[in-house]
Structure 1
Amino acid sequence: MYRYDSRVVITLDAGGTNFVFGAMQANKFIVEPITMPSNAQDLDRCLSTMVEGFRAIIAKLETKPVAISFAFPGPADYRNGVIGGYLPNFPSFRDGVALGPFLEYTFGIPVFINNDGDLFAYGEALGGALPEVNAKLEALGSSKQYRNLIGYTFGTGFGIGIVTEGNRLHAGDNSCVETFCLRHKKMPDIIVEEGVAVRAVKRVYGEASGDVNHNFEPKDICEIADGKRPGDVEAAKKAFAELGEIAGDAMATAVTLIDGIIVIGGGITAARKYIMPSLLKELRGKIHTLSGDTLNRVQMEVYDLDNEEEFKAFAKGNQRPLKVYGTDRYVAYDPMKRIGVMISKMGASQAISVGAYAYALHQLDTKNEQ
């Protein structure tokens, strides 16, 4: 969707250290991005920088932009464009800033602000994982098509976004669809993010290796696991395996409620081969009743969609003809309920940008149709 759209949308990668301004057309960046210090601790300087950056991008364009659309980290009333609350990286926004209305007044075009997890999922639903999976299913002769997606980001935090019915972003009534605050499987009074984030990989490696004062980042720990860097190989593998287990537990709860494809993005996914076995094992785990019956934790069969053999089985399903009672007619019936997990091919940053672009155009089109 929107791969051939000529409209231009201004974007922003809003980090606590730097702002990166850009412009997208047809799902692609069309000008060299501009990077400026965010000045996040000073509201006046921060907003001035934002205006300066957007104006600099607009000056590069040959086509007038139709909207500004971007993700902003932290709690917010995204529907009304108000940022506020506990924002460690943007302390000057803590008391509440009507950022969307301010930018709309300044530039005279619509402004859309969303959570980065939401835009990651939206980008994957409209231009990434969802159309990719459906195209592969069709190519393999399957009539099965998916319209629901849960996007997860592994990074400094544990983010989530949910898209239903193909293009409906589920933002909730309070712009508060979150996963970081679910329970940690092994420490029920601790948030799950403590087990699914950069700090979790570093902590578990330190505990397992006995070197709690190490300075390794997840990239280094992955290289240790691969045998490319000196260190404790088994501790490195354990660090990623535990992340997969804790993430899989949280995902099992979400996918049971949403029933859709899971796509994961973020730099930590470079350690996929150490993460996915335990993640999939958790999703495929068992749960019990008080009477002793055993059930699947997730009521659908779970497939690794990055594994070609598993994808073929996922596409094949268990279709058979079913006779219509009292007639000579038959209908096709596939009783196999199934979902899949995959790693983002676009990467989190690109998916978020595509999501920001698509979200703006979809909102504009919806408004024009009303």
Structure 2
Amino acid sequence: MYQFDKRIVMTLDAGGTNFVFSAIQANQLVVSPISLPSNADNLDKCLETFIFGFTTVINELSEAPVAISFAFPGPADYVNGVIGDLPNLKAFRGGIALGPFLENKFNIPVFINNDGDLFAYGEAIAGVLPEINQKFSDSGSPRRYKNLLGVTFGTGFGGGIVINGNLHIGDNGSGGDLWMFRHKKFRDCITEESVGISALKRMYAEFSGDFQSDLTPKDIFDIAEEVKKGNKDAALRTFAEMGEEAGDTIAHAVSLVDGLVVIGGGLMGAAKYFMPSLMNELNGNIRKLNGESFPRLEMTAYNLVVENDLNLFLKGSSTFVNVLGSDKKVNYNSEKRIGIAISKLGTSKAIALGAYAFALHALDLNE
């Protein structure tokens, strides 16, 4: 979708240290990204950075852009473009109408969303969803998926939901906020306490007893790989714990979404260490008070990174059954199944494509 659209949308990758400005046309970058200091502690300078960055992009374009669309950290009223009290962008306190401000400056529509939402939308438009559906087509299967849950393991635990090709924003702009789900083991805590950069650092310190070293997730990964000194068992346990907690949350969410799942974020380099426990959680059992046990999900979850799992997922268990009293047959899919994939687009590209597609979709709806 939109791979042949000639309209240009300006985008932004907003970090606490730098803002990276660019523009997309037909799902491709059309200017080299422009990185500028965010000036996050000074509102006036920060807003000047927005104006200078987007103006610089406009000056490099061969034609005028039709919109601005980007992800920005919350809390925020994304629908109205108002940014709330951000922990890493201190200038945005008390509610800053960033969207309307940029609309007044550039006289084009401005769309701001959560990065988890746009990651999911980008994967649904140009990532894992069309890729898997093409694999079904190539294998001769009539099966197609329309729904997707996107989750990110990075600074925190992000999420987004796409239903039948449409991004689920929610009435308050809070659709897909997985990070606030209840923790599996610590019932008075949020799930993000075990999924994300800070969570990994905390868990490794607790499991190893090393509260002095300020280790990064890469350090913990290197310890697991035995290329850095440390407690390997604690490192492996840390990633397994994150996988279990993420799997529990995804299991709750996918029961409502009933679609493919794609995972992205800065921690994906350690996927081989957390995916086994994540998949075990999805395909594990749950029970009733009387002790009866049955599968956690109605659907069997397949790890689409594993070739055998992918082949089984694509093959399915579809058969034909007779319609009683006639000579007709109907398709019977006796096994419900979902696929768990890892982003091939990469998180930043998926977010950018999601921002681009969201803007064009909104403009088309308003025509």
Q: TM-score category by the smaller chain?
A: over 0.9
**What does 1:184-333 align with in structure 2 at a 5 Å threshold?**
184-333=183-332
Aligned-residue offset at 1:124: 0.3
Aligned-residue offset at 1:117: 0.4
**Structure 2 Cα separation of the partners of residues 333 and 193 of structure 1:** 39
**Structure 2 Cα separation of the partners of residues 141 and 226 of structure 1:** 41
Report the TM-score, using the length of structure 1 for normalisation.
0.96
Deviations 1:7-31 (A, max 9, x none): 1110111112111111111212121
**What does 1:94-105 align with in structure 2 at a 5 Å threshold?**
94-105=93-104
**Structure 1 Cα separation of the partners of residues 239 and 79 of structure 2:** 36
**Structure 2 Cα separation of the partners of residues 329 and 57 of structure 1:** 60
Aligned-residue offset at 1:92: 2.4
**Structure 2 Cα separation of the partners of residues 312 and 33 of structure 1:** 38
**What does 1:1-370 align with in structure 2 at a 5 Å threshold?**
1-84=1-84, 86-165=85-164, 167-177=165-175, 178-368=177-367
**Structure 1 Cα separation of the partners of residues 341 and 228 of structure 2:** 27
Aligned-residue offset at 1:228: 2.0
Alignment partner of 1:91: what SS? coil
Alignment partner of 1:263: what SS? strand
Partner letter of residue 174 of structure 1?
A: N
Which consecutive unaligned segments of at least 5 residues does structure 1 have? Answer: none
**Structure 2 Cα separation of the partners of residues 332 and 107 of structure 1:** 54
**Structure 2 Cα separation of the partners of residues 92 and 145 of structure 1:** 46
Aligned-residue offset at 1:255: 0.4
**Structure 1 Cα separation of the partners of residues 171 and 75 of structure 2:** 13
Aligned-residue offset at 1:291: 2.8
Larger deviation: 201-210 or 280-289? 201-210
Aligned-residue offset at 1:229: 2.0
Partner letter of residue 343 of structure 1?
A: I
Alignment partner of 2:160: what SS? strand
**Structure 2 Cα separation of the partners of residues 168 and 187 of structure 1:** 34
Q: Considering only aligned residues, what root-mean-square deviation do their CA atoms show, in Å?
A: 1.2
Alignment partner of 1:161: what SS? strand
Larger deviation: 227-236 or 315-324? 227-236
Alignment partner of 1:89: what SS? coil
Deviations 1:292-312 (A, max 9, x none): 322211111110011111111
Answer whether contact 1:36 1:49 (CA < 8 A) is retained. yes
Alignment partner of 2:91: what SS? helix
Which consecutive unaligned segments of at least 5 residues does structure 2 have? Answer: none
Aligned length: 366
**Structure 1 Cα separation of the partners of residues 10 and 202 of structure 2:** 38
Alignment partner of 2:119: what SS? helix
Deviations 1:212-239 (A, max 9, x none): 2222211121122112222222211111
Report the TM-score, using the length of structure 2 for normalisation.
0.97
**Structure 2 Cα separation of the partners of residues 217 and 354 of structure 1:** 29
Partner letter of residue 40 of structure 2?
A: A
**Structure 1 Cα separation of the partners of residues 291 and 233 of structure 2:** 36
Deviations 1:245-299 (A, max 9, x none): 0100111100011101110001211111101000000111111112332221111
Aligned-residue offset at 1:142: 1.6
Aligned-residue offset at 1:89: 1.3
Larger deviation: 212-221 or 271-280? 212-221
Partner letter of residue 311 of structure 2?
A: K
Identity %: 56
Answer whether contact 1:75 1:176 (CA < 8 A) is retained. no
Partner letter of residue 14 of structure 1?
A: A
